[in-house]
Amino acid sequence: MTYAPILLFVYNRPEHTRRLISSLLQNQEAAESELFIYADQCKDIASAQSVQEVREYIHTITGFKRVNLIERTENWGLARNIIDGVTTQVNAYGRVIVLEDDLIVAPYFLRFMNDALEIYKDESRVGHIQACDFTHAPTLPDTFLIKWTGSWGWATWARAWKHFNPDGTALLQELERKQLTRTFDFNGTYGFTRMLRRQTEGKNNSWAIRWNASLFLADILSLNVGKSLVQNTGFDGSGTNCGGGGLYNSTLWMQPLPVSLLSPIEENLEARKEFQKYYYRTNNFWAKAFRRIRRTLKGDFGA
């Protein structure tokens, strides 16, 4: 098998980056995988030292088939960096595995991703692979198909990435025209439409919500896991989107996770119900109020 290149996006978190690389090197396939590291430039003096520390570290990384460094000379921001990096490499290689610096992966993460990329390469209705589960729903199968894309440890093909539309306004208008906003929001239990609207208003710059909406509108599914091969360690205040209150904790599955071609290729509606229940349980009024009170008691007076 020719292994998909791994794209890693880093900025100013040296310890997170070290932990991720260490976990990747526990994967047997790392030695046969090309690694592309996109290092963004600092946006202000305050982040200059940590950005430099990250850059010094990535120059020492070994253990992969080849390490390619793309060091930006100006601050691109995560969205522009990811869109450019994925577009460049998926067009060159046909498929990519994408990671950010605040993740930790299980020892069989690369095996799963490469197996899934190969098995589903010709399934045009499957456009995304997501290896993180935070619902902890015991009824979820090992793998299932769903109209939703997670952004923590994912992979795609060139044939699917061509559906990506960076124009959030056009995506929002199409969702509203087709009266799909409630479905997009898991029956109103999570504000994905609001997130997209805020992107169009310049209140966030999420590439992930635009990727989610792009595939949703194209009726393209994601292959997801019921056992998590990825852990997000970024909810510690170190990143742009921090906080979380333990909502997205996951337990790493440390064994191989087999991939088979699911049939028929259609959304698993029971899995969708599990996500809906999870989002309702964690995003209803009382759950949000409780988290706000708890943060206030800890001295966190942010929004």
Mean pLDDT of the chain: 93
Q: Which CATH number characterizes residue 23's domain? A: 3.90.550.10
Please give the Cα distance from 262 to 119 (Å, whole number): 10
Spell out the SS3 assignment of 20-33. Answer: HHHHHCCCHHHHHC
Please give the Cα distance from 23 to 20 (Å, whole number): 5
Q: Do 225 and 130 contact (CB within 8 A), yes or no?
A: yes
pTM: 0.93
Asked if residue 153 and residue 35 are part of one domain, the reply reads yes
Q: Do 154 and 130 contact (CB within 8 A), yes or no?
A: yes
Asked if residue 132 and residue 31 are part of one domain, the reply reads yes
Among 179, 194, 217, where does a domain finish? 217
- Within a domain: residue 1? no
Q: What is the pLDDT of residue 300?
A: 59
Q: Do 110 and 27 contact (CB within 8 A), yes or no?
A: yes
User: What is the number of domains present in the chain?
Assistant: 2
Paired strand residues for 231? 104
Asked if residue 95 and residue 84 are part of one domain, the reply reads yes
How far is residue 71 from each of residues 55, 58, 287, 293, measured CA to CA in Å?
8, 10, 41, 42
Q: What are the φ and ψ backbone dihedral angles of 6, each rounded to 5 degrees?
A: -105, 125
The dihedral of CA 258, 260, 266, 269: what is its sign? Answer: negative
- Within a domain: residue 159? yes
Asked if residue 79 and residue 212 are part of one domain, the reply reads no
Q: Count CB atoms within 10 A of the CB of residue 123.
A: 18
Q: Do 20 and 8 contact (CB within 8 A), yes or no?
A: yes
Please give the Cα distance from 230 to 219 (Å, whole number): 26
Asked if residue 96 and residue 212 are part of one domain, the reply reads no
Q: What is the dihedral angle through the alpha carbons of 269, 206, 196, 268, rounded to the nearest 10 degrees?
A: 0
Asked if residue 140 and residue 282 are part of one domain, the reply reads yes
The dihedral of CA 70, 74, 75, 79: what is its sign? Answer: negative
Q: Sorting pLDDT into bands at 50, 70 and 90, what band is 1?
A: confident
Residue 164 has pLDDT above 70, yes or no: yes
Which of 36-50, 190-204, 233-247, 273-287 comes out lowest in average pLDDT?
233-247
**What is the arithmetic mean of pLDDT over 75-101?**
98
Amino acid at 272: R
Asked if residue 185 and residue 97 are part of one domain, the reply reads no
Asked if residue 174 and residue 124 are part of one domain, the reply reads no
**What is the arithmetic mean of pLDDT over 17-21?**
98
Pairing state between β 230-232 and 103-105: antiparallel
Under DSSP, the state recorded for 28 is: G
Tens of pLDDT along 93-149? Answer: 999 999 999 999 999 999 999 999 999 999 999 999 999 999 999 999 999 999 999
- Within a domain: residue 247? yes
Name the nearest CA neighbour of 81 among 92, 91, 70. Answer: 70
Tens of pLDDT along 26-72? Answer: 999 999 999 999 999 999 999 999 999 999 999 999 999 999 999 99
Residue 108 belongs to what domain range? 6-163+218-297
Paired strand residues for 104? 231
| Residues in contact with 216: Cβ distance below 8 Å, sequence separation at least 6, in sequence order | 147, 148, 175, 180, 184
How far is residue 280 from each of residues 52, 150, 186, 283, measured CA to CA in Å?
42, 18, 9, 5
Please give the Cα distance from 108 to 122 (Å, whole number): 23
| Residues in contact with 182: Cβ distance below 8 Å, sequence separation at least 6, in sequence order | 188
Asked if residue 241 and residue 104 are part of one domain, the reply reads yes
Q: Sorting pLDDT into bands at 50, 70 and 90, what band is 283?
A: confident
Asked if residue 229 and residue 129 are part of one domain, the reply reads yes
User: What tokens were used for 270?
Assistant: 């029971």
Please give the Cα distance from 268 to 221 (Å, whole number): 10
- Within a domain: residue 233? yes
